[in-house]
Amino acid sequence: MYPTKAFAASSSTARLAPFSLQRRNPGPRDVKIEILYCGVCHSDIHQARNEWHNTIYPCVPGHEIVGRVVEVGTDVGTFKAGDLAAVGCLVNSCRHCPNCQDGLEQFCESGAIFTYNAPDHVSGGVTYGGYSDSIVVDASFVLRVPKSLDLAAAAPLLCAGITTWSPLRHWKVGPGQKVGVVGLGGLGHMALKFAAAFGAHVVLFTTSPGKAADAMRLGAHEVVVSTRPDEMQKHLNSFDFILDAVSAQHDLNAYLALLKRDATMVLVGVPEHPLPVAAFNLIFQRHTLAGSLIGGIQETQEMLDYCGEHGITSDIEIIPIQKINEAYERILKSDVHYRFVIDMKSLTG
């Protein structure tokens, strides 16, 4: 074991503060990564503040990790010291169940091992995430970062990117389709970029009229202010697919009414409380309301490679780790365009 500097929440009401944890020494199949950048996800706030009622303290958040390999185990042939590498939301799974065999480790029947606040079956205790100066991960869950990408701006691809890429790919979004994106935040802005890159006609739904110009820059072809009934009415029964990226309380029924017959709306945002759904909004047009959870390792690598080929990254604001509590409050006020990324030099400098 070796000491690692980090920032952690000690309780649901505590501010994140400096913390020292013990990482395992790399085993034969492990990769040790010096963390250069770590994105800040809304899930980090949910977990740090125990809003999903499952947090184990102390909690070291962070699952949008980009860094440089500093050591590899004797059985690792896929990475070497000096390589760029990334770690997303997953660090392990059973690898044997049907879902793992299909490359869908996030749905592991034995329980996927998430990058933080999950049982650590290797070292014991719980996993600690990327708000730290280094991490040790099994090579099978380490990802390659295209050299063409800006490293800081690539970090949010590990969660915000794959969370939106996966459903767009699974439901085969592409040319000739009308696609809606609900909410312009960390997830929503990546959904706009991907859906536009896939050739769809993209419509952003927002409660903030001031976001229209930015939405068009990011790939939207139209912007609808969802609080204006006349604007919503114009789009009834017209969407092939809607991706809902909002984590706050909102009315799902207003968007279900916009779907064509047999079309699908997918949730990727995770509000704290359940949202009501009217049965009539599902049965009359045979609509589907579905959900999607990040993506598997192979799919995440495919997403990173695509981003490298097409120059797609997240729009970010870089912060030192000492500003993390302020960043949380700004996220809750939607005061970020569109993802905070921690420069981890601030932790060790």
Mean pLDDT throughout 231-255?
96
The residues pairing with 205 across neighbouring beta strands, listed in sequence order, are: 182, 224
Check the CA dihedral 211-293-69-129 and report its sign.
Answer: positive
Q: Quick one: 270 and 143 in the same domain?
A: no
| Domain around 199 | 161-291
Residue 307 lies in a domain: no
264-302 per-position pLDDT tens digit:
999 999 887 899 999 999 999 999 999 999 999 999 999
90-120 per-position pLDDT tens digit:
999 999 999 999 999 999 999 999 999 999 9
Residue 308 lies in a domain: no
Residue 228 lies in a domain: yes
CATH number at residue 234: 3.40.50.720
Phi, psi of 136 (to 5 degrees): -120, 125
Q: Quick one: 37 and 67 in the same domain?
A: yes
Q: Quick one: 193 and 286 in the same domain?
A: yes
Q: Quick one: 70 and 117 in the same domain?
A: yes
Distances (CA, A) of 291 to 176, 234, 244, 266, 283: 23, 26, 9, 5, 18
DSSP label of 27: -
In one-letter notation, the amino acid at residue 210 is G
What confidence category does residue 255 fall into, taking pLDDT thresholds of 50, 70 and 90?
Answer: very high
Q: Quick one: 126 and 6 in the same domain?
A: yes
Residue 102 lies in a domain: yes
Percentage of the chain modeled with pLDDT above 90: 96
Q: Quick one: 85 and 122 in the same domain?
A: yes
Q: Quick one: 107 and 123 in the same domain?
A: yes
DSSP label of 12: T
The 3-state DSSP class for residue 267 equals strand
Q: Any idea which residue has 């969660």 for tokens?
A: 159
Strand pairing class (90-92; 178-182): unpaired
Confirm if 262 and 237 have CB atoms less than 8 A apart.
no
Q: Quick one: 48 and 177 in the same domain?
A: no
Reduced DSSP (H G I as helix, E B as strand, rest coil) percent helix, strand, coil of the chain, to 5: 30, 30, 45
CATH number at residue 71: 3.90.180.10
What confidence category does residue 348 fall into, taking pLDDT thresholds of 50, 70 and 90?
Answer: confident
Q: Quick one: 110 and 245 in the same domain?
A: no
Rounded CA-CA distance 142/136 in Å is 10
Residue 105 lies in a domain: yes
Rounded CA-CA distance 254/226 in Å is 9
Q: Around 248, how many Cα atoms within 13 Å sit in the side-chain half-sphere?
A: 11
Residue 184 lies in a domain: yes
| Residue 98: alpha-carbon gap to chain centroid | 24
In one-letter notation, the amino acid at residue 97 is C
SS (H, E, C) 186-229: HHHHHHHHHHHHCCCEEEEEECCHHHHHHHHHHCCCEEEECCCH
The 3-state DSSP class for residue 231 equals helix
Confirm if 338 and 185 have CB atoms less than 8 A apart.
yes
**pLDDT over 80 (residue 349):** no
Q: Quick one: 77 and 192 in the same domain?
A: no
DSSP label of 246: -
In one-letter notation, the amino acid at residue 241 is F
Mean pLDDT throughout 121-137?
96
Residue 306 lies in a domain: no
DSSP strand E in the chain: where? 2-8, 17-23, 30-39, 65-72, 84-87, 90-92, 113-114, 134-138, 143-144, 178-182, 201-206, 222-225, 239-244, 259-267, 288-291, 316-320, 339-343
Q: Quick one: 222 and 155 in the same domain?
A: no
Rounded CA-CA distance 52/167 in Å is 23
9-34 per-position pLDDT tens digit:
999 999 999 999 999 999 999 999 99
How many domains would you assign to the chain? 2
Rounded CA-CA distance 79/69 in Å is 8
140-159 per-position pLDDT tens digit:
999 999 999 999 999 999 99
Q: Quick one: 148 and 170 in the same domain?
A: no
